[in-house]
Structure 1
Amino acid sequence: MSLDASDIEKIAHLARLEIAPESIERYAADLSNILDLVAQMDAVDTTGVEPMAHPLHMSQRVRPDRVSEHDQRELFQAIAPLTEGGLYLVPKVID
């Protein structure tokens, strides 16, 4: 796909970018090359290829799930203006 100067100006306007007039041709060539590469990748037959969640087949190191702090809910709620059933009560802000 080949982009011309008017395409680059439209894209720059939509993206709210200011591009120097002398750079427009270079941007057109660079974006055209990127779009050509995308078209090449789109043309590859991927039938039967299983999607991967991550490109590397590695297992995640997971830390042990253990308590690192003790429960301080009662301490924090003791200084709160209003609480009920372990929840903080706040003024209604939407009618």
Structure 2
Amino acid sequence: MTIPDWLNTQTEDVTFPKIDHAPFATLTTQPGTPKIVCKGTLTGPTQATTIRMRPEDCKRLKAATDGALAAAIVAIVMDKLDELERNHEVLTIAIKN
């Protein structure tokens, strides 16, 4: 049995970027240097919360983000929550001290 030509094609040539829809944002990924680009800010009613981060993690996140940091953080968290709900998964986080 011979392998069809399309099976020999590089994966990058036949795949599409992942697109998810958070309630207030559209998240799109594509190949490239790791970076978060946030276009816009949160509007309407919001609730403030404090996110405690290690200084090195905060510095890394800020360095990787172009645009509104708070909106980017919310979009990332909501995207992951949507994924967990969609896949009926439990995410267990064990903090290392």
From the CA coordinates, give the structure whose radius of gyration is larger. Answer: 1
User: Normalising by structure 1, what TM-score?
Assistant: 0.28
Higher fraction of strand: 2
User: Normalising by structure 2, what TM-score?
Assistant: 0.28
Q: Which has the higher contact order (CA 8 A, sep 6+)?
A: 2
